[in-house]
Structure 1
Amino acid sequence: MQDRVLKLLEYEKVIEQLKQHASSSLGETAADHLRPETEKETISQMIEETDEGVNILRLKGHFPFGGITDIRPQLKRTDIGGVLNAGELMAIADTIRGSRIVKHFITELIEEDVQVPRLYGRVQFIEPLTTLEHAIRDCVDEQGGILDTASDQLRSIRTQIKTFDSRIKDKLSAMTRSNETRKMLSEAIVTIRNDRYVIPVKAESKAAFGGIVHDQSASGATFFVEPRSIVDINNQLNEAKGKERHEVERILRQLSEQVSSYVSELQDHVDALAQVDFIMTRAKYAQSLRATKPVVSANGRLNYKKARHPLLSEQEAVPINIILNRDEQAMIVTGPNTGGKTVTLKTTGLLTLMAQSGLHLPVEDGSEFVIYKHVFADIGDEQSIEQNLSTFSSHMTNIVEIIDQVDHESLVLFDELGAGTDPQEGAALSIAILDDVRARGATILATTHYSELKAYAFSREGVINASVEFDIETLSPTYRLLIGVPGRSNAFEISQRLGLSEKIIHHAKEQIGADTSKVDQMIASLETNRKEAEEAREEAETVRAELREQQAQLNQEQQELEAKKEQIIKRTEQKAKDRLEKVRGEAADIIEDLRNKQKNVNAQVKDHELIEAKSHLDHALDTVTNQTKSSENQEENNQAIRQTFEPGQEVKVQSFGQKGSIVERLNDQEYLVQVGIMKMNIKASDLKPVKEEKQTKPVVNVKGPSKTTKTELDLRGERYEEAMNRLDQYLDAALLAGYPQVSIIHGKGTGVLRKAVQKKLTHHPRVKNTRLGGMGEGGSGVTVVEFK
Structure 2
Amino acid sequence: MNEKVLDTLEYDRVKQLVGQFLTTENGSRELKQLKPSSDYDIVSHSLDEADDGSHIYRLNKMIPVPRLVDITPSMKRLAVNADLNGTELSQVNAVLLASKRVRTFFANLDDDKVELNVLYDEAKDFNDLPEISKRLQASIDEDGRVLDSASSELRSIRREITRLETNIKTTMNKYIHGKQSKYLSEPIITVRDGRYVIPVKSEDKQKFGGIVHDQSTSGLTLYIEPQSVVSSNNDLRRSQLDERKEIHKILGELSDMIRPYQEELMENAAQLGHFDLINAKAKFADQMHATKPSVSKENHVNLKNVRHPLIDQKKVVGNDIQIGSDFRQIIITGPNTGGKTITIKTLGINQLMAQSGIFVMANEGSQVGVFDNVFADIGDEQSIEANLSTFSSHMDNLINILKHITNQSLILIDELGAGTDPKEGAALAMSILDKMGESGSEVLATTHYPELKVYGYNRPETINASMEFDEKTLQPTYRLLLGVPGQSNALNIAKRLGLPDTIISEASSLMDSDSQDINRMIKQLTKQTKDADERARKLKVELAENERLHADLNDKLTKFTDNKDSMVNDAKRQANQIVSKTRRQANEIINNLHQVQKRTNQPIKENELIDAKGKINSLEQHPELKNNRVLKREKAKHHFKEGDDVLVKSYGQRGVLLKKMGKDNWEVQLGILKMKVSESDLEQTHKEPGKKKHTPSVRRTRSSGISPTLDLRGERYESAMQRLDRYIDSALLAGYPSVTIIHGKGTGALRKGVISYLKRNRRVKEFGFSPANAGGDGSTVVKFK
TM-score (norm 1): 0.69
Give the Cα–Cα distance (whole angstroms) in 2 for the partners of residues 563 and 572 of structure 1: 16
* 1:109–1:116 contact (8 Å) kept in structure 2: no
* 1:335–1:469 contact (8 Å) kept in structure 2: no
- Secondary structure of 1:360's match? coil
Q: What residue number does 2:56 align with?
A: 56
- Summarize the Cα distance change of 1:253–1:335 in structure 2 as closer, same or farther, 3 Å threshold: same
Give the Cα–Cα distance (whole angstroms) in 2 for the partners of residues 263 and 528 of structure 1: 68
Q: What residue number does 1:504 align with?
A: 503
* CA deviation string 1:407-431 (max 9, x = no partner): 2222111101122222222222222
- Summarize the Cα distance change of 1:564–1:471 in structure 2 as closer, same or farther, 3 Å threshold: farther
Give the letter aligned to residue 147 of structure 2: L
* CA deviation string 1:692-719 (max 9, x = no partner): xxxxxxxxxxxxxxxxxxxxxxxxxxxx
- Summarize the Cα distance change of 1:582–1:270 in structure 2 as closer, same or farther, 3 Å threshold: farther
Give the letter aligned to residue 160 of structure 1: E
Q: What residue number does 1:734 align with?
A: none
- Secondary structure of 1:420's match? coil
Measure how far apart 1:552 and its partner are. 7.6
- Secondary structure of 2:243's match? helix
Q: What residue number does 1:131 align with?
A: 131
Q: Would you say 1:104 and 2:107 are equivalent positions?
A: no
RMSD: 3.5
Unaligned segments of structure 1, at least 5 residues? 587-626, 632-666, 668-788
Measure how far apart 1:477 and its partner are. 0.7
**Aligned pairs (5 A) from 1:41-80:** 41-66=41-66, 68-80=68-80
Give the Cα–Cα distance (whole angstroms) in 2 for the partners of residues 65 and 579 of structure 1: 70
**Aligned pairs (5 A) from 1:92-171:** 92-171=92-171
**Aligned pairs (5 A) from 1:32-47:** 32-47=32-47
Q: What residue number does 1:85 align with?
A: 85
- Secondary structure of 1:138's match? helix
* 1:389–1:421 contact (8 Å) kept in structure 2: no
Give the Cα–Cα distance (whole angstroms) in 1 for the partners of residues 172 and 581 of structure 2: 99
Measure how far apart 1:569 and its partner are. 7.3
- Secondary structure of 1:264's match? helix
Give the Cα–Cα distance (whole angstroms) in 2 for the partners of residues 352 and 539 of structure 1: 30
**Aligned pairs (5 A) from 1:579-658:** none
Give the letter aligned to residue 417 of structure 1: L
**Aligned pairs (5 A) from 1:462-477:** 462-477=461-476
* 2:140–2:146 contact (8 Å) kept in structure 1: yes
Give the Cα–Cα distance (whole angstroms) in 2 for the partners of residues 463 and 163 of structure 1: 89
Identity %: 41
My pick for the range that moved more, 243-252 or 150-159, is: 150-159
* 1:139–1:150 contact (8 Å) kept in structure 2: yes
* 1:304–1:367 contact (8 Å) kept in structure 2: yes
* CA deviation string 1:368-388 (max 9, x = no partner): 2222111111111599xxxx9
Give the Cα–Cα distance (whole angstroms) in 1 for the partners of residues 72 and 352 of structure 2: 30
Measure how far apart 1:564 and its partner are. 12
- Summarize the Cα distance change of 1:68–1:211 in structure 2 as closer, same or farther, 3 Å threshold: closer
* 1:26–1:69 contact (8 Å) kept in structure 2: yes
Q: What residue number does 2:733 align with?
A: none
Give the Cα–Cα distance (whole angstroms) in 2 for the partners of residues 141 and 261 of structure 1: 22
Give the Cα–Cα distance (whole angstroms) in 2 for the partners of residues 29 and 94 of structure 1: 18
Number of equivalenced pairs? 588
Measure how far apart 1:337 and its partner are. 2.0
Give the Cα–Cα distance (whole angstroms) in 2 for the partners of residues 75 and 173 of structure 1: 48
Measure how far apart 1:265 and its partner are. 1.9
- Secondary structure of 2:168's match? helix
**Aligned pairs (5 A) from 1:93-492:** 93-179=93-179, 181-380=180-379, 390-492=389-491
My pick for the range that moved more, 121-130 or 303-312, is: 121-130
- Summarize the Cα distance change of 1:210–1:466 in structure 2 as closer, same or farther, 3 Å threshold: same
Give the Cα–Cα distance (whole angstroms) in 1 for the partners of residues 545 and 115 of structure 2: 38
Give the Cα–Cα distance (whole angstroms) in 2 for the partners of residues 151 and 582 of structure 1: 90
- Secondary structure of 2:65's match? coil
Measure how far apart 1:550 and its partner are. 6.7
TM-score (norm 2): 0.69
* 1:389–1:420 contact (8 Å) kept in structure 2: no
Measure how far apart 1:496 and its partner are. 1.7
* 1:487–1:523 contact (8 Å) kept in structure 2: yes
* CA deviation string 1:547-600 (max 9, x = no partner): 5687588679979999999999799689679979999999xxxxxxxxxxxxxx
**Aligned pairs (5 A) from 1:738-777:** none
Unaligned segments of structure 2, at least 5 residues? 586-620, 626-651, 653-785
- Summarize the Cα distance change of 1:584–1:29 in structure 2 as closer, same or farther, 3 Å threshold: farther
Q: What residue number does 1:650 align with?
A: none
Q: Would you say 1:516 and 2:515 are equivalent positions?
A: yes
- Summarize the Cα distance change of 1:59–1:163 in structure 2 as closer, same or farther, 3 Å threshold: closer
Give the Cα–Cα distance (whole angstroms) in 2 for the partners of residues 130 and 389 of structure 1: 64
Give the Cα–Cα distance (whole angstroms) in 1 for the partners of residues 244 and 576 of structure 2: 88
Give the letter aligned to residue 459 of structure 2: R
- Summarize the Cα distance change of 1:585–1:70 in structure 2 as closer, same or farther, 3 Å threshold: farther
Give the Cα–Cα distance (whole angstroms) in 2 for the partners of residues 265 and 553 of structure 1: 55
Give the Cα–Cα distance (whole angstroms) in 1 for the partners of residues 583 and 313 of structure 2: 72
Measure how far apart 1:259 and its partner are. 1.2
- Secondary structure of 1:486's match? coil
Give the Cα–Cα distance (whole angstroms) in 1 for the partners of residues 548 and 131 of structure 2: 64
Give the letter aligned to residue 227 of structure 2: R
* 1:67–1:98 contact (8 Å) kept in structure 2: no
Give the Cα–Cα distance (whole angstroms) in 1 for the partners of residues 89 and 388 of structure 2: 63
